[in-house]
A = this chain, B = another copy of it.
Amino acid sequence: MPPQQVLRYIDQHTDQAIERLLELLAIPSISTDPAYTGEIEAAASWIQHHLTDTGLAAQIMPTGGHPCVVGRTPRGMAPEGAPTVLFYGHYDVQPPDPLDLWTSGPFEPEIRHGAVFARGSSDDKGQVMCFLEALRAWVRAADALPVNVIVLIEGEEECSSVNLGRFLEAHRGQLGADVALVSDTAMWDRKTLAITYALRGIAYFDIQLHGPLRDLHSGVYGGAVPNPANLLARVLAGLFDDRNRVTIPGFYDDVVPLSNEERRQWAALAFDEQAFLGNVGVSEDYGEAGYELLERRWARPSCDINGLYGGYSGEGAKTIIPRYAGAKLSFRLAPHQDPARIAQLFENWLHRQPVAGYRWQVTRHGWAAPVMVPTDSPHMSAAQRAAQTTTGRPPVLIREGATIPVVADFKRVLDVDSILLGFGQNDDCIHAPNEKFELSCYDLGIRTHATLLAELGRG
């Protein structure tokens, strides 16, 4: 628990905290569109100013792309020997299109029904502000912090954090910490916080099978020459057996088996599979035999064709044998599958498929390692205590099927584990029109971060 004056400060400054959030949300810091470079700089400056105003030493640091804002507590603000917490978030946002589906302007934040509606409200400015306001409350009310803090807010998360890995490597010496704290996820439900302790990785490929020198007339050549599209379909289908398991030899070797404890915990979540599927128009549970839906999403690898192309796809008919056919294809990787090893296994497998003398062109489109952090660490215990304190109930420990590359980068470059603790709701419409962040979540986020800082200070 933080000192009473910190909690009181939070209670008494709710309006100001909301005002500051609205200010930040009004800056259209769209990172994927070069037209918004000035707004990106404005958002970075705004964050820097907020950190400085809170008493941290903050600077805007260049990367190969949009800058990072880095703030750190000055010497003497935390007790001698206190641990260091590295907080990560991002100030950039997704483009707001389609604009006509927004009830209020995406960069004219408006409060309705107890939530603030704006692009970036939940992803991720609102969550960043939860932490920054918790810091501010500690410094203003207690004139101290229980831990050393490094704040790292980047501006390219919505462009796949393309420069963050190199940035971490270049500034490794200044970013050392005992634990990282990432606030970019959702609560389990409106009453229960979720701590994410594992993420899947990814290995993404573009594969093209190149055949004849040119598109061929399917009447003249049909039945006489191999068709790259027919062969590609056969190869893709061969990736799966009749239990929907990936057939690549060795593919599952390094997958950490689900523990009985995890199976028990996840069953207790009473996850509503029918609602999950029904919400996206799917009627049939489908996937690797022998696993429940949550288990397949969180703890098992998957393989999806992300796109198919080649030959004619316009209106009507064109009677050709296409000269090539291709697919975008990716594997979601479970801990501890290694993307480099999986890529090698896949490519070896691919080159062994019979394709009638045709030629593969394989492009790797980047990858990220899966991540799993120990759930029995002191930091994890601190996070669980903080969540219990502010919500009155234990948080759920979950995994995620998606990839958050920064978490793997923190481990790889800085050798630091991350705690993923977020305050969004699953219906916040991130990356979609009418994105919102609920004010009760904002308040809970500020109080939970303030409490977590205290708990981490206890060690």
Assess whether A400 is interfacial by the CB under 8 Å rule.
yes
A214: min CB distance to chain B, Å: 7
Chain B residue contacts of A317, Cβ below 8 A:
204, 206, 306, 328, 330, 365-366
Chain B residue contacts of A213, Cβ below 8 A:
280-281
Question: CA A286 – CA B366 in complex, angstroms?
Answer: 35
A293: min CB distance to chain B, Å: 5
A89: min CB distance to chain B, Å: 19
* Of A69-77, A100-108, A318-326, A443-451, the one with at least 4 CB within 8 A of chain B: A318-326
Question: CA A229 – CA B237 in complex, angstroms?
Answer: 10
Assess whether A221 is interfacial by the CB under 8 Å rule.
yes
Our pick among B237, B293, B402 for the contact of A234 (Cβ within 8 Å) is: B237
> For the side of the interface on A, what is the size category?
35 or more
Assess whether A258 is interfacial by the CB under 8 Å rule.
no
Assess whether A219 is interfacial by the CB under 8 Å rule.
yes
Chain B residue contacts of A286, Cβ below 8 A:
224-226, 356
* 4 further contact pairs, Cβ within 8 A, besides A225-B277, A307-B322: A202-B219, A204-B319, A224-B277, A230-B304
Question: CA A320 – CA B211 in complex, angstroms?
Answer: 27
Given contacts A219-B202, A306-B218, whether A225 and B357 have CB atoms under 8 Å apart is: no
The 8 A CB mask of A258-280 against B (1 = contact, 0 = none) is: 00000000000000000011001
A137: min CB distance to chain B, Å: 33
B227 touches A305 (CB 8 A): yes
Chain B residue contacts of A297, Cβ below 8 A:
220-224
A217 touches B402 (CB 8 A): yes
A226 touches B282 (CB 8 A): yes
A305 touches B229 (CB 8 A): yes
Assess whether A4 is interfacial by the CB under 8 Å rule.
no
A residues apposed to B, CB below 8 Å: 200, 202, 204, 206, 211-214, 216-227, 229-230, 232-234, 236-238, 240, 276-277, 280-288, 293, 296-297, 300-313, 316-322, 325-328, 330, 332, 356-357, 365-366, 400-403
Our pick among B223, B284, B318 for the contact of A307 (Cβ within 8 Å) is: B318
Question: CA A281 – CA B230 in complex, angstroms?
Answer: 17
A402 touches B220 (CB 8 A): yes
A237 touches B240 (CB 8 A): no
Chain B residue contacts of A281, Cβ below 8 A:
211-213
Measured CB to CB, the nearest residue on chain B to A216 is B280
Our pick among B233, B283, B320, B325 for the contact of A357 (Cβ within 8 Å) is: B283
Measured CB to CB, the nearest residue on chain B to A364 is B317
Question: CA A214 – CA B280 in complex, angstroms?
Answer: 7
Measured CB to CB, the nearest residue on chain B to A308 is B308
Question: CA A303 – CA B230 in complex, angstroms?
Answer: 9
23 pairs, CB–CB < 8 Å, chain A vs chain B: A200-B222, A212-B280, A213-B280, A218-B332, A219-B400, A219-B403, A222-B302, A223-B297, A223-B301, A224-B285, A224-B286, A224-B296, A225-B287, A227-B305, A229-B327, A234-B236, A306-B311, A306-B312, A306-B320, A306-B321, A307-B322, A316-B365, A317-B330
Chain B residue contacts of A211, Cβ below 8 A:
281-282
Chain B residue contacts of A308, Cβ below 8 A:
229, 232-233, 308-311, 313, 325, 327
Given contacts A212-B280, A308-B308, A357-B283, whether A237 and B226 have CB atoms under 8 Å apart is: no
B284 touches A226 (CB 8 A): yes
Measured CB to CB, the nearest residue on chain B to A313 is B309
Most buried by B among A202, A223, A277, A302: A223
A225 touches B400 (CB 8 A): no
Closest 9 CB pairs of A and B: A219-B402, A223-B302, A307-B311, A237-B237, A213-B281, A229-B305, A309-B313, A233-B236, A222-B302
